Amino acid sequence: MTRTRAQTVARSAATKAVAWGIVGVAAGVAGPALAQTPSWQYIPPRSSDTYFFPTDISHSGIVIGGSGSIGNLPSLVRSIERFDPSLGATQTTILGISGSDRGHISGDGLVVGGYWPGDGSPGSAGPSLLYSDGTRRLLPSPTIQGELKMGSVQRLSYDGSSAALRYNPLPNGSTAEANSVYRWTLQDNVAQLPPSPLSGSTYSFVNGMSDDGRYIVGQMAPNTTFPDVPFAWDTQQNTLLPMIDPTGRPIDNGRMTTASGDGTRLFGWYYVGGTHVNPFMIEDGLLTALELGDLPPSVDLVPMDASFDGTVLTGLYNRPSGAQSYWIWTESGGAVDANDYFRSFGLDFPATARIRDLMVSGDGRHFAGWMESGSAGFVVTIPAPSAAISLILGGVFATRRRRRR
């Protein structure tokens, strides 16, 4: 995790523009952040269900997800619920979701993406964005060999002006399942994920995107019998970043799992020796191992979600007993079990809570997930401003740029 000074200060003009684009948002939340005390709130499910499952979180901590039961994840409900921790209230939107598509929210919290089932008229269904004023935009789906392939939103940029989507590339009517990634921008510019230099990309999945929409990360494979290959798609250059491990060998089994909002840090993992999961970070084009040595002994260490500047990270690990747990890594404090991290702030967070799908807001102050043993979603708010906000307020943001979901 060590970096040279040159690596720290070297940033592209595009990254600077995106970073300064959120200064107003960061400064706006700094005041409340300094005044608040640490807190955690349940996110209640709808009365007819037993769980609230968060599926995405905005820069300032607005959580969206869906209600269901333990055997009925939010992919099966047809509404998206929005929880604002500053209000402590849940609102249900009119943007429907179905199948395996889950709701996603823009970093500014003003745009929600999902799949709109339509009103029954031809062409009314498809991937859709719902804006804060109630208007909806139907996004284009690709046409492959004369067949329309219905897409679904997987990630949104900070202002909702671009989206990462997926579609089934197989012939219509096929009973097999497959996924291919594409990107949309506000100018209705649609681009397909480039093929992997190691294998085809019939099966590709989105796991993260930078706030400006430039970087999209995930995994791809030619078919279900091949191992996943991690990808980081630079949509500005329309190229895939090389995936070379520290020994100089191409990574042919692993995944890219998240990207910091400012695009300067990309995270993922790959197999070592066919069994051990090795987490890594790509910064300034260099791939380095992500050290998480303070955690209990584990077989798998998987980064899951990153703050705007990449200095706060959530992840998954499996204890030797097989129990699944989540960790939180901060650049200043290292990696800590998530339950212990929350309790270290004096919160009465259940020490034995089995956390699932833990995610972090862009400002690094809010964490959302659900508790398998608690029958509800939750959001934790930490009052201390994140590293990015501290640097902005300190007047040195221009010398250190870091970047979500």
- Confidence at residue 8, expressed as pLDDT on a 0 to 100 scale: 34
How many Å separate Cα 206 from the centre of its chain? 9
Q: Which of 140, 189, 194 has the alpha carbon at shortest distance from 167?
A: 140
Q: What's the CA gap between 39 and 348, in Å, rounded?
A: 9
Helix (H, G, I), strand (E, B) or coil at 245: coil
User: Would you list the DSSP string of 102-145?
Assistant: --EE-TTSSEEEEEE--SSSTT--EEEEEETTS-EEEPP--EET
List residues bridging with 39 in a β-sheet: 381
Question: Is residue 330 classed as helix, strand or coil in its secondary structure?
Answer: strand
3-state secondary structure of 254: strand
Three-state secondary-structure class, residue 24: helix
Query: Rounded to the nearest 10 degrees, how much is the dihedral formed by the CA atoms of 194, 303, 26, 349?
Result: 150
The per-residue b/e assignment along 260-282, b for 16 or more CB within 10 angstroms, e otherwise, is: bbbbbbbbbbbbeeeeebbbbbb
The count of other CB atoms within 10 Å of the CB of residue 216 is 29
pLDDT given at position 200:
57
- Please name the residue that has the structure tokens 């990696």: 335
Reading the chain (405 residues) residue by residue, the pLDDT tens digits are 434 333 333 333 333 333 323 333 333 333 333 336 898 898 888 777 788 888 999 999 999 888 877 665 554 445 678 888 888 777 765 455 444 457 899 999 999 998 887 778 877 888 999 898 888 899 998 888 888 888 889 999 999 999 999 988 888 877 777 788 999 999 878 999 988 766 555 689 999 999 999 999 999 987 777 888 999 999 999 999 999 988 888 898 999 999 999 999 999 999 887 777 889 999 998 999 888 877 876 668 899 999 999 999 999 988 777 778 899 999 888 899 999 999 999 998 888 888 999 999 999 999 999 988 766 789 999 986 443 333 333 332 333 333 333
pLDDT the model gives residue 95:
52
Cα separation, 28 vs 393, whole angstroms: 11
